[in-house]
Amino acid sequence: MPVPPSQYISNVWKEGIFDGRVVFVTGGAGTICSAQTRALVHLGANACIIGRNQQKTEAVANDIATARKGAKVIGIGGCDVRNPENLVKAAERCVKELGAIDFVIAGAAGNFVSPISGLSSNGFKTVMDIDVLGTYNTVKATIPYLIESAARNKSNENGLTGGRIIYVSATFHYTGMPMQAHVMAAKASVDSIMASVALEYGPYGVTSNVVAPGGIEGTEGLARLAGKGAEGKNTASGIPLGRWGTVKEIADATVYLFSDAGNYVNGEVLVVDGGDWRNGGMGVGLDAGMKYPDFLLTGEFSKHVKSGREDKSKL
């Protein structure tokens, strides 16, 4: 059944503002990126989502297509963003089947909780490869199409836009965060790639911006970082707004940057975290009562954070 629009987009946006536009999304089967894509499709866009798991990617694509009658959403599974040829072929297929690439969301990412003492070089490299190399490969594969889209949509009086890319980053590297050295290094690099694209391709009319979510309820990311029970009210009490964010709020930020309202926004980092990073940000891998630096000195963190493998919780 179609997801109610109230769960993934605010009612302030005019329907049809993305009519005829095509969005290419890496990590598109993920909780946040699928909501971003669903919002764009609801507002008129067609989409191509990319992922490594073929079955999951195709299933999510079919589900997103229910956001608007007549929507076309392609799911390309078996695509690894670390492989540039995979992305080039995916972009070519997207253009062949949907006609263009007007928007790009670089959302493929990896994360897990680990102190430096327990973080192998291979683990560090894996996150860097997915986040940084994957982002760079995405830019290289899609930028020719974004340049074409920007040229087609220059000074479009009807408010339709094109030639825009956003990157889903994070906030840990703005202030620092224990047990996230790998992610901080990766996301700082993603932010830097964003700035380089803004400077080098802005003259072609392409805009390049980052959306940096905080803790978003109901997502894989929060489960991996904060563990079971992390979405309770008390655990969000340190956030200035007193709650976790929602996928709708990340989708709204995406719509803003891709819409006519975001025409002059380029090279910007849009943080959507309720002001949490100003307050030091959420602690990761912590149970109630665990305080900095005690958990580091005692050598323990939460046994409830989600992981792809069975690890001991010792530092």
In-domain check, residue 57 = yes
Of these residues, 34, 114, 149, 187, which one is catalytic? Answer: 187
Give the active site residue among 34, 114, 149, 169: 169
The verdict on whether 120 is a catalytic residue reads: no
CB of 158 closer than 8 Å to CB of 103: no
How far, in Å, CA of 267 to CA of 202, rounded? 9
For residue 282, the tally of other CB atoms under 10 A from its CB is: 23
> Which pLDDT band holds residue 311 (cuts at 50, 70, 90)?
very low
Select the more confidently predicted residue: 307 or 183. 183
pTM (predicted TM-score) = 0.90
Question: Is 187 known to be catalytic?
Answer: yes
Q: If pLDDT is split at 50, 70 and 90, which confidence band does 141 have?
A: very high
Asked whether residue 177 is assigned to any structural domain, the reply reads: yes
Quick: pLDDT tens for 52-61.
999 999 999 9
The answer to whether residue 303 is domain-embedded is no
Query: Residue 63 maps to which CATH number?
Result: 3.40.50.720
> Is 238 within a domain?
yes
- State residue 306 phi and psi, 5-degree precision: -75, 135
Cα–Cα nearest to 263, from 32, 46, 17, 28: 17
The boundaries of the domain holding residue 269 are 12-298
313 found inside a domain: no
> Domain total for the chain?
1
Question: Which DSSP helix (H) or strand (E) runs through 24?
Answer: strand 22-26
3, 67 in Cβ contact below 8 A?
yes
**Over 90: is that where the pLDDT of 170 sits?**
yes
Report yes or no on 51 lying in a domain.
yes
Query: pLDDT digit string (tens) for 245-302?
Result: 999 999 999 999 999 999 999 999 999 999 999 887 666 666 666 666 666 676 766 6
Q: Which of 87, 9, 17 is nearest to 48 (CA)?
A: 87
Q: Is residue 6 part of a domain?
A: no
